Chain A
Amino acid sequence: MTHANTVQLIAQTQAAVFRVGRYVCSLYISCIQEINKNLLLTPVHEAPDYVRGIINLRGNIVTVIDLHRKLGLEPIAIQAGTRNVIVRVDREMVGLLVDGVDDIVEIDSANILPTPAHLAKELGEAFEGVVPYGDELVAILNLNHILSDTSSH
């Protein structure tokens, strides 16, 4: 699962920017398979609380993770803007629920700053770093950490 890291070596990389509660996050395009509105979730009882359910993505069973939960927020409320970001890691597809996809941006690896101390303290390794985005800071998600199946708060 070193995908995100290797991509980082290239100076300019495209990344999708999306909102997760109060955070603005991004993921490199290269780990994203698609972004869709497939929210026909089948709940899996007894699953970890960050798993929102499973969906049928053209014949594949995809586990859908609530990014709110992974970032220590209240469960996501599904609305019109809610999107399912499908990432592919280790030949398995996983969906990430986000509040809305804003933009695709170029990220220059030279601009990546370390995660601010208060965020790092709260969310551990959830972020790889931050980059300026307009007036805001965009947090680059650490996909390894987000997809780990052990950590739940």
Chain B
Amino acid sequence: MTDNEDAELLQVFLEEAREHLDGIEGALLQLESSEGVDFEIVNRIFRAVHSVKGGAGFFGLVAIKTLSHAMESVLGSMQKGQLPANTEIVGVLLGAADSLVHMIDNPAQSEDRDIADLVRELERIGIGTGTKPTIVATQPRALLVTLPDETTDSQATLQAEAPAKSEQSLDVVKPLPLSVDISAPRTETKVGLEAQSSIRVHVGILDRLMTLAGELVLTRNQLLQSNDATSSSNSDATQRIDHITTELQDAIMSTRMQSIGTAFQKFRRVVRDLANSLDKEVDLVIEGEEVELDRSIVEAIGDPLTHLVRNALDHGIEKPSLRLANNKPRRGTLRLSALHKAGQVIIEIADDGAGIDPAKVRAKALEKGVCTREQLASMSESAVIKLIFRPGFSTATEVTDVSGRGIGMDVVHSNLSKLGGVVDVQSNVGLGTLMRIKLPLTLAIIPCLLVSEENESFAIPQANLIELHRIPAREVKHRIKNFGDALVLRLRGELIPLIRLRDALKIKQHSVASETQERLDDQRQTGYDRRQELFDGSEDRRSQSDRRHSHRSAINIAIVAAGDFRYGIMVENLQDSLEIVVKPLGRHLRHCDSYAGSTILGDGRLALILDVVSLARHMQAADNNEALASARLAAQKSVESKDKMTLILVENSGDELMAIPLGLIERIERLNRHDIQQVGGKRTLTYRGKNLPLLGIEEVANVGPCRDKPNLYAVVYRSQEREVGLLVSDLIDVLDSSTELDQLTHRQPGVFGSLLIDGKITLLLDIHGIARERLGLPAPSSSESKQQTFTVLIVEDSRFFRERVAEFCREAGYQILTAEDGLEGLEMLDQHASEVDLVITDIEMPRLDGFEFTSRLRADPRFKQIPVIAVTSMMGEEAEQRGHQVGITEYLIKLDRERIMDRLKYYLSGPGANVQGTAA
């Protein structure tokens, strides 16, 4: 065997050993926390240590062999039930495992490491077994379990009678790696087989695959575009390439995905050790370990997480004596959790400790000069708490070796920002602190919407995008208003601030001379204000390139979200949405914070990726806030108090107009008829690796069949915790409609009734009803009929909604009282004060609206605790906030039967039954 081969073999051993040892720490901690001795775990640890010992002997790594041998003896005694798995013993084993890891990491220096103390300690524990027969006696049942067959039996004897001898026998057969298996328990073979389902791949190769996949995506895009232009006969092959590329990209992406458990696991040890050294008692609860993130992100969040966890233990959770004095359980709880939400991963670190005291933060901020007194005076408490993320801020009164070394939260904040993440903090003095981190799933490839301005393309990340609007020329005047310097869009009764991309980026106009001339002429004629001119000026080229949109001076707006702040970006053209590979900008451009990077488009041109958050900052600075605020107020007043519902109008057979309440819909997908798969009489669409069941309206309601055209739309919504898609042939419009519903003429399964919209009869679809009919989903809650005792008061002026909600509730077994407005609601409550368990109220009502109704109800001591659910057809943040102020417990969308039923159950018989009442 050459030296080279030797070195290679050693490398393989070291890598394997590392893997074995990786699991040991977790297993030991698990062992410590489990009741009695969990023999399954002991066996696992034993096998790992044993494998390490075998390999170390083969390579002549004596120190490693000696130490693992000593550990093995202790574990062997434990296997036989002669030793308990108490804190002391596990502590020593952990120490030994740490030493092993260290030696494996530095094999050349392993012989120099002083392991004598550890070995002695282990031997002392091992000898102790003979003097503690009581332990054996206390666990006879467990002992029986460990001896299921003769293999374990013989092996146990082998270890028990002469460890030295068994080692000798190992020496003899050493050159054969098989020796490990021979002496190991039989179960090992099974474990070995499982392990073979994965192989080791160098990260560099994965990264290269990723880059190549990225380039393939670009080429695919190019191919698709050129195919669009020529519509050649090889479109089938192109389509296949399109699909395969997408799948390939997903598959490669998934190789880079790692479960966040990798990052979480190490905290078991960190928390244990830290709690011990701080004399605190802490339970660590880990949730959502299976949530997957890009490897680079998992690696990068390790440090920020460690900092937050250390902080929670050091400053958050109190010592047991203090906790008891404060009527809290002796042991503190630290909860680490991860979950997927809207294409992002949310990580929470919550402790039930002392919380952050805003007063202390204020004092500290003044002392450190982070803020002035005036600034502090105008800050809300939550804003004050967020000061901890400012540079140079640390609340620790003493510098400890655990945390509080002056640097701290600001580093956490900036590190997470670099990853495209956001960290937020909520804290209640005496109750605890919650840190919430939002992270993107991956940094490499993101879905974007492409927009253009003056023939330059820009990409808006889909994650920031809420919706797209095209305001037709005839509505521009009505929908877009000018308040001082601020432009706003009226959208479903709300005012949304607007920026023009061209202005925000200061794009100079450099159009073809003749066009410019035309535009100038145009402007001179009209003589509107400057903004109006721009509305009118820019569509000549567009109408050439896109004849379908023939409205002159229609305006395209992308509504985006920057954190909680929503605004609209006016752009010249809305183009495709596509997956792009993010490429960073060079260092000369790092100060251009309007961009998050750049990407190469299918035709080789470049597009800059817009940083929606930074753009918002531009606007907010330039924004005349007062003007905007007054504009909002004016707009709110001008929205007719009449109850309105936002509907999406669709067509199916081509001659029947149908409407779906927008609030019930998750999203709309455009799909190709060929992509629909029909299996077992059910149609599905395979979409992002999942099956989306597709329903036809005609399958339930007596309406015409779906028009036969290549492109259809699926209106996606959630029914019974799963997503379903309702097939329609065309999308017609989105509009606000008053709800004068005819419930008699067209009522049928899947249809609530009919509305008159622009003089046309329009069927209002019952999409949850359709899902129930087609998928055989159970009618929610009707079987759980133990709820007769609960009474629900429904306050709602529209007869249609009142009856719908009452119907849901009756079906679910609740007693119903109804009232037609707030005043009547209060009378009903007064008469039935002892009966009513929960109130559902509309917001927009004549005589007394939902806000006023709730605030008067809350003023009555009898109803301080009663849950009040507001149902509305327009959900606005401001309205929601106002609602919470007057004491509305929760906001829900009208007609969202499932959600309403779910929450009723929650407040009446679920976990919310005890914590109901006045929020905030």
Contact A46 B604 (CB under 8 A): no
Contact B586 A94 (CB under 8 A): yes
The residue from B586, B592, B594, B605 contacting A92, defined by CB atoms under 8 A apart = B586
Please report A residues at the B interface, Cβ cutoff 8 Å: 40, 42-48, 50-51, 54-56, 59-63, 65, 92, 94, 147, 149
Q: Which residues of A contact B608 (CB under 8 A)?
A: 42, 44
Question: Counting CB contacts under 8 A, is B589 at the interface?
Answer: yes
Task: Give the CA-CA distance A48 to B592 in the complex, in Å.
Answer: 8
Contacts of A55 in B (CB 8 A): 606
What residue in chain A is nearest B604 (Cβ atoms)? A56
- CB pair B590–A43 under 8 Å, yes or no, is no
> Would you call B586 and A62 a contact (CB within 8 A)?
yes
Q: A42-B605, A46-B506 given as contacts; is B592 within 8 A of A63 (CB)?
A: no
Shortest distance between the CB of A85 and any CB in chain B (Å): 15
Assembly CA distance A106 to B898 (angstroms):
81
Within 8 Å of chain A (Cβ to Cβ): is B542? no
Residues of A within 8 A of B606 (CB): 42, 54-56, 61
Q: Given the interface contacts A44-B608, A46-B506, A55-B606, does A149 sit within 8 Å of B600 by beta carbon?
A: no
Is residue B306 contacting chain A, with contact meaning CB distance below 8 A? no
20 more CB-based (< 8 A) A-B contacts, given A42-B607, A45-B505, A45-B507: A40-B604, A42-B598, A42-B608, A44-B608, A46-B506, A48-B588, A48-B591, A50-B588, A54-B585, A54-B606, A56-B600, A59-B218, A61-B583, A62-B586, A63-B586, A63-B587, A65-B588, A92-B586, A149-B587, A149-B590
Cβ–Cβ < 8 Å partners of B583 in chain A = 60-61
Which of B505, B507, B588, B607 meets A51, CB within 8 Å?
B588
B584 in contact (CB, < 8 A): yes
Report chain B residues within 8 Å CB of A56: 600, 604-606
User: How far is the CB of B209 from the nearest CB of chain A, in Å?
Assistant: 15
- Report B566-594 CB contacts with A as 1/0, cut-off 8 Å: 00000000000000000111111111101
A36 to chain B, nearest CB (A): 15
Task: Find the B residue at minimum CB distance from A46.
Answer: B592
Q: CB distance A54 to B598 under 8 Å?
A: yes
List CB contacts (< 8 Å) of B205-254 with chain A.
Answer: 215, 218
User: Which residues of A have CB within 8 Å of B600?
Assistant: 56, 59, 61
Which single member of A45, A48, A63 contacts B506 (CB below 8 Å)? A45
- Given A43-B456, A61-B598, the answer on whether A51 and B589 have CB atoms closer than 8 Å is yes
Complex: A56 Cα to B599 Cα, angstroms: 9
B594→A46 contact, CB < 8 A: yes
Given A54-B606, A55-B606, A61-B606, verify A46-B585 contact (CB < 8 Å).
no
Residues in chain B near residue A47, CB distance under 8 A: 588-589, 592
Interface presence of B595 (CB below 8 A): yes
Partner of B595, one of A40, A44, A94, A147: A44
The 3 closest A-B pairs by CB, nearest first: A63-B586, A45-B505, A42-B606
B215: chain A residues at CB < 8 Å are 59
Chain B residue at minimal CB-CB distance from A55: B606
Complex Cα gap A107–B594 (Å):
44
The answer to whether B589 and A63 have CB atoms under 8 Å apart is yes
Residue-wise interface mask of B (503-524) relative to A, using a CB-CB cutoff of 8 A (1 in contact, 0 not)? 0011100000000000000000
B436 smallest CB distance to A (angstroms): 32
The minimal Cβ–Cβ distance linking B599 to chain A, given in whole angstroms, is: 8
Listed in ascending order, the chain B residues whose CB lies under 8 Å from chain A are: 215, 218, 456, 505-507, 583-592, 594-595, 598, 600, 604-608
Q: Is there an interface contact between B591 and A45, defined as CB atoms closer than 8 Å?
A: no
Chain B nearest Cβ from A125, distance in angstroms:
18
- Chain B residues near A63: list those with CB within 8 A: 585-589
How close is A149's CB to chain B, nearest CB, in angstroms?
Answer: 5
> A61: shortest Cβ distance to chain B, in Å?
5
Whole-angstrom CA separation of A137 from B592 in the bound complex: 37
Which chain A residues lie closer than 8 Å to B507 at the CB level? 45
> Are A45 and B587 touching (Cβ within 8 A)?
no
Contacts of A61 in B (CB 8 A): 583-586, 598, 600, 606
Determine how close the nearest CB of chain A comes to the CB of B747; give it in whole angstroms.
57
| Bound complex: CA A92 to CA B505 (Å) | 26
CA distance A40 to B354 in the complex (A): 59
Which of chain A's residues have a CB closer than 8 A to the CB of B595? 44
Complex alpha-carbon distance, A43 and B506, angstroms? 12
Measured CA separation A132–B667 after assembly (Å): 70
Whether B605 contacts A44 by the Cβ 8 Å rule is no
Residue of A nearest to B594 (CB): A46
Q: Which of A43, A45, A48, A51 contacts B594 (CB 8 A)?
A: A45
Contacts of A50 in B (CB 8 A): 588
Which residue of chain B is the closest to A93 with respect to CB atoms? B586
**Minimum Cβ distance to chain A for residue B458 (Å):** 10
Residue pair B505, A46 in contact (C-beta under 8 Å): yes
- Cβ distance B592 to chain A, nearest Cβ, rounded Å: 5
- Chain A residues near B604: list those with CB within 8 A: 40, 56
- CB<8 Å pairs between A and B, sample of 16: A42-B598, A42-B606, A51-B588, A51-B589, A54-B585, A54-B598, A56-B600, A56-B605, A56-B606, A61-B584, A61-B585, A61-B598, A63-B585, A63-B586, A63-B588, A147-B588
Query: Which of B583, B592, B598, B606 has the most chain A CB within a 10 Å cutoff?
Result: B606
- The CA of A51 and the CA of B608, in the complex, are separated in Å by 15
The answer for the CA separation of A54 and B585 in the assembled complex, in Å, is: 9
Q: CA–CA, A46 to B617, complex, Å?
A: 15
The residue in chain A whose Cβ has the minimal distance to the Cβ of B590 is: A149
Measured CA separation A60–B586 after assembly (Å):
10
Residues of A within 8 A of B588 (CB): 47-48, 50-51, 63, 65, 94, 147, 149
Which residue on chain A has the smallest CB distance to residue B595? A44
Q: In whole Å, how far is B729's beta carbon from the nearest beta carbon of chain A?
A: 40
Instruction: Give the nearest-CB partner of A63 in chain B.
Output: B586
State the CA gap A125–B586 with chains docked (Å): 23
Residues of B within 8 A of A94 (CB): 586, 588
Q: A42: nearest residue on chain B (CB-CB)?
A: B606
Give A62 to B608 CA distance when docked, in angstroms. Answer: 13
Q: How far is the CA of A97 from the CA of B667 in the complex (A)?
A: 48
- CB-nearest residue of chain B to A95: B586
Q: Which residue of A lies closest to B501 (CB)?
A: A45
- Closest chain-B Cβ to A130's Cβ sits at a distance in Å of 26
Min CB distance A88 to B, Å, is: 12
A61's closest neighbor in chain B, by CB? B583
Question: How many angstroms between the C-alpha atoms of A48 and B600 in the bound complex?
Answer: 22
Complex CA gap A84/B588 in Å reads 17
Chain A residue contacts of B607, Cβ below 8 A: 42
Report the bound CA distance from A150 to B24 in whole Å.
52
Closest Cβ of chain A to B411, distance in Å, is 24
Chain A residues with CB under 8 Å of B585's CB are: 44, 54, 61, 63
Residue of A nearest to B601 (CB): A56
Chain A hits for B506, CB < 8 A = 45-46
For the complex, give the distance between the alpha carbons of A47 and B598 in Å.
14
Q: How far is the CA of A43 from the CA of B598 in the complex (A)?
A: 12
A23 smallest CB distance to B (angstroms): 21
- Residues on the A chain within 8 Å of B218, using CB: 59
Instruction: Point out the residues of chain B lying under 8 angstroms from A42, CB to CB.
Output: 456, 598, 605-608
Contacts of B587 in A (CB 8 A): 63, 92, 149
A43 to B605, CA, bound (A): 11
Q: How far is the CA of A71 from the CA of B914 in the complex (A)?
A: 74
Which A residues lie within 8 Å of B605 (CB)? 40, 42, 56
Bound complex: CA of A62 vs CA of B592, how far in Å? 15
Complex CA–CA separation, A94 to B608 (angstroms): 17
Which of B506, B589, B604, B608 has the largest number of chain A CB atoms within 10 A? B589
User: Which chain B residue lies CB-closest to A152?
Assistant: B588
Nearest to B608 among chain A residues (CB) is A44
Q: Which of A43, A61, A62 has the most CB of B within 10 A?
A: A61
Interface centre among B218, B588, B589, B604 (most CB of A within 10 A): B588
Assembly CA distance A61 to B586 (angstroms): 8
Residues of A within 8 A of B594 (CB): 45-46
List residues of chain B with CB within 8 A of the CB of A43.
456
- How many Å from the CB of A110 to the closest CB on chain B? 35
Q: How far is the CA of A46 from the CA of B506 in the complex (A)?
A: 7
CA distance A109 to B590 in the complex (A): 36
